[in-house]
Amino acid sequence: MEYLRKITADLESQGVKKVQQKLLHGDAAEAISAEAAEMEHNLVAMTTHGRSGIDRWVLGSVADKVVRECGDPVLLIRSSQG
C-alpha cells in the first residue's frame, strides 16, 4: 500500500484529479478486469515487460489477458526494467 500511496501522490502532484488505489488479491488479470467492470468510463493503464515467444508462453502475460478480457481501453507502457 505504501507504494500505491506514493504513486497516487505523484499523479496528484502532476494534476491528475481522480486517483483511486486498491490492493487486489487473486489472479492479476482476472482481478483487474473484474475491478474495471465495476466502474464506468475506465482507462486501464499498466506496464508490461513486453515478453514474446517462449518467455510469454511459459510466464504468461497479464497485460495480454487484460487486453483480451477487460472490455475497457487498456494503455500499455513498456517497462524500462524489461
DSSP character string of the chain: -HHHHHHHHHHHHTT-S--------S-HHHHHHHHHHTSSS--EEEEE----HHHHHHH--HHHHHHHH--S-EEEEE-TT-
Rounded distance between C-alpha atoms, residue 32 and residue 49, angstroms: 17
Residue extents of the structural domains in the chain: 2-78
Is pLDDT above 70 for 65?
A: yes
Residue 58 banded pLDDT, cuts 50, 70, 90: very low
Mean pLDDT of 66-82: 82
Is pLDDT above 80 for 52?
A: no
CATH number of 2-78: 3.40.50.620
Mean pLDDT of 31-41: 90
